[in-house]
Amino acid sequence: MLKRGLYTEATLATVSGATGYGLIAHAAIAIERDKIVYAGPDDGLPAEWRSVPATSLDGRLVTPGLIDCHTHLIHAGSRASEFEMRLEGASYEDVARAGGGIFSTVEATNQTSDDGLLSGALKRLDRMLAEGVTTVEVKSGYGLTQEGELRLLRVARKLSEMRPVRICTTFLGAHAIPKDMDGDEYLDAVCLPALRAAAAEGLVDAVDGFCETIGFSPAQIKRVFDVASELGLPVKLHAEQLSDQGGAKLASQYGALSADHLEYVSQDGVEAMAEAGTVAVMLPGAFYFLKETKVPPIAAFRVAGVPMAVATDSNPGSAPMTSILLAMNMATTLFAMTPEEALRGVTVNAARALGQSDIGMITPGQVADLAIWDSSHPAELSYRMGDAPLYARIFGGLEC
Ligand code: NIG
Ligand code: FE
């Protein structure tokens, strides 16, 4: 028997237009196997569906399943003492230069077994799923050895076997330079061979880097992107988080899916992103937690037509959070994005930041990944501070 599902009396936020929520009140969604086949007014439901048993949602809001398009979900250890140092005045860069920061997480991660990493990541993942998330991007970057990087990506793939969620993996070997090497030595000896090996094992959906004075130079990132292009893999970049390195423009030249953070991006960078169709991924949790004061140029992105996404950046150093709803709230209160932009940022634009075209909207043909909320107003998702009025979560057509 063909697997079918039908929901009626829904309030849909389809996010399928060029802007806005794409609201449809008194709406139905018909699902066949794992795909949406109808999404529109109840009274426009095709005749063959009229005899199918329906679940009434009593006006509840239905959005696409939420997509967290930038996370460092797999890691071990805590950086609470570093947090205390920063509260006393040390900067994120000071801590990194003193050998803490990313390195302390690398050490803790490399000392933890695969099972330990998996169970830590599952705890964080479960909190995300409880907020209606159906797709999560997961980066490597806390191994910094060939085997360490591959191991994190294998654990990431495992997550989708253990939970009803789509996982997109990103190779972030160019995250930090080990103390005993220079950047180019590390790229030659570890990062680029690791990238080739990970790609050969089918572990890589996209390739990322950290372009910063405390990370990799634009010339070094270019080397990583050249190998990604040779392997046919899309790229994205941690760009202009702490200073303007021209990273967004460089990423755009490689047709990057996204450039992320962007507090210090120049107008030149914004225009290059607009031309390339590169998504600006806003990470207000990291902005907040690092007590950054320079806000990314939201108005310039709007004017240039750069699509904006919003993500948690879930990681132990700059954003120890898992709540995509709190990230949405922060995007509105700290970055002056509208609740409409925040919702589009965790649905349609987040899908685009991951190069996924079959999720992120409620339209026929899309995978039926949906979140049903105990409210009818879509601004509710940004309004609550990390609260989750989730009623049900549907993954690939199945309620789970
Ligand atoms: O997105 N900036 C580089 N990477 C992470 C932080 C990683 C860490 O501090 O452990 C970020 O902010
Ligand atoms: Fe990050």
| Residues of each domain in the chain carrying CATH 2.30.40.10 | 4-64+361-399
Q: Using an 8 Å Cβ cutoff, are 346 and 66 in contact?
A: yes
| Pocket-forming residues, ligand 1, beta carbon under 6 Å | 72, 101-102, 105, 210, 238, 241, 286, 313, 315-318
| 247/305 Cα distance (integer angstroms) | 19
| 171/141 Cα distance (integer angstroms) | 7
Enumerate residues with CB within 5 Å of ligand 2 (an ion). Answer: 313
Quick one: which atom of ligand 1 is closest to the CA of 313? 1
Measure 315 CA to ligand 1 centroid, in angstroms: 7
Q: How far is CA 223 from CA 146, 229, 346, 396, in A?
A: 17, 10, 30, 38
| Residues of each domain in the chain carrying CATH 3.20.20.140 | 66-353
| 9/27 Cα distance (integer angstroms) | 5
Measure 221 CA to ligand 2 centroid, in angstroms: 15
Q: pLDDT, tens digit, for every residue of 158-213?
A: 999 999 999 999 999 999 999 999 999 999 999 999 999 999 999 999 999 999 99
Q: Which two tokens stand for residue 268?
A: 């030149």
| 393/400 Cα distance (integer angstroms) | 6
One digit per residue, pLDDT tens: the chain, 400 residues?
Answer: 678 999 999 999 999 999 999 999 999 999 999 999 999 999 999 999 999 999 999 999 999 999 999 999 999 999 999 999 999 999 999 998 888 899 999 999 999 999 999 999 999 999 999 999 999 999 999 999 999 999 999 999 999 999 999 999 999 999 999 999 999 999 999 999 999 999 999 999 999 999 999 999 999 999 999 999 999 999 999 999 999 999 999 999 999 999 999 999 999 999 999 999 999 999 999 999 999 999 999 999 999 999 999 999 999 999 999 999 999 999 999 999 999 999 999 999 999 999 999 999 999 999 999 999 999 999 999 999 988 799 999 999 999 9
| 313/326 Cα distance (integer angstroms) | 12
* Residue tagged 């930041």 (tokens): 353
Q: How far is CA 114 from CA 74, 92, 104, 155, 245, in A?
A: 10, 28, 18, 7, 35
| Residue 48: other Cβ atoms inside 10 A | 10
State if pTM tops 0.85: yes
| 13/73 Cα distance (integer angstroms) | 28
| 80/95 Cα distance (integer angstroms) | 12
Q: How far is CA 155 from CA 68, 75, 199, in A?
A: 18, 10, 15
Measure 377 CA to ligand 1 centroid, in angstroms: 34
Measure 15 CA to ligand 1 centroid, in angstroms: 30
DSSP assignments along 196-253, one per residue: HHHHHTT--SEEEEEESTTSB-HHHHHHHHHHHHHTT--BEEEESSSS--SHHHHHHH
Give strand pairing partners of 319: 315
CATH class of the structural domain 4-64+361-399: mainly beta
Which overall architecture, per CATH, does domain 66-353 show?
Alpha-Beta Barrel (3.20)
Q: pLDDT, tens digit, for every residue of 53-104?
A: 999 999 999 999 999 999 999 999 999 999 999 999 999 999 988 888 999 9
Q: Using an 8 Å Cβ cutoff, are 357 and 365 in contact?
A: no
Exposure letters 198-218 (e unless 16+ CB within 10 A, then b): bbeeebbbbbbbbbbebbbeb
Closest ligand (CA of 318): 1
